[in-house]
Amino acid sequence: MKKNRKELFFEETLKLVVQKGFKGTTLRDIAHKLNFEVANVYNYIDSKESFLEGYLFNTLHEFCEYLDNIMTSSYSPVEKLKFVISKHVQYTIAQPYVVALFIYEWRNLKEPKLKEFEEKRENYIATVNDIIKAGISQGELREMDDKFATFMVMSSMRWLFSLVTNEENNINPIEIEKQMTDFIFKGIGK
């Protein structure tokens, strides 16, 4: 499969932006990395902002759609939660730089896109909260504050990208998913 210039542009730019931050990456940085002149950047993107929007909303939509499918299934709360965790882990391992962008750079969106992003993400978390609340009330999860539990579950999964971007080691997605699930459900205690 030949990798054309456009794919290369997006890959390299994504890495650069993750490394130096959105505001910290200039179009000239990007041009330099790809060995061409500044103006050429506009053969690939309409604006710096649109580059960010593209990745952020694609990712968000993919997660939301997947969660929708989980919610309209007949699985139990714990089973649903395991699907959510699986999705996060698998997506993060497949696209760690996109996730890094998602975590670190969403604040650079401009209105009204910023608000749209925040609302959709808030909606996603609220739905995960619904799963956890159901899990507690049905006795599948231990008694605890459901909002805090949701917050902790999301927090746990958020940083996984840095394990993938930093680690030279081979990553086994199946094993990472197992470890992640074990941690969230059983913790590290005995």
Residues contributing to the site for a copy of itself (CB under 8 A)? 20-21, 23-24, 78, 104, 107-108, 132, 135, 139-142, 144-145, 148-149, 151-156, 158-160, 163, 176, 179-180, 182-190
Considering the complex, state which of residue 96 and residue 135 has its C-beta at the smaller distance from a copy of itself: 135
Considering the complex, state which of residue 5 and residue 24 has its C-beta at the smaller distance from a copy of itself: 24
Q: Which does residue 67 bind out of DNA, a copy of itself, none, counting CB within 5 to 8 angstroms by kind?
A: none
Q: What is the DSSP string of 49-72?
A: HHHHHHHHHHHHHHHHHHHHHHHT
Instruction: Quickly count: other Cβ atoms within 10 Å of residue 98's Cβ.
Output: 19
Rounded to an integer, what distance in angstroms lies between the CA atom of residue 123 and that of residue 132?
Answer: 14
DSSP annotation of 169 reads S
Q: Contact 157/88 with Cβ under 8 angstroms?
A: yes
Quick check: 49 binds DNA (CB under 7 A)? yes
Rounded to an integer, what distance in angstroms lies between the CA atom of residue 149 and that of residue 172?
Answer: 27
Distance of closest approach, residue 104 Cβ to a copy of itself, in angstroms: 7
Considering the complex, state which of residue 40 and residue 134 has its C-beta at the smaller distance from a copy of itself: 134
| Cis preceding-peptide flag for 96 (omega within 30 of 0) | no
Distance of closest approach, residue 84 Cβ to a copy of itself, in angstroms: 12
Number of residues in contact with DNA, rule: CB under 7 A? 20
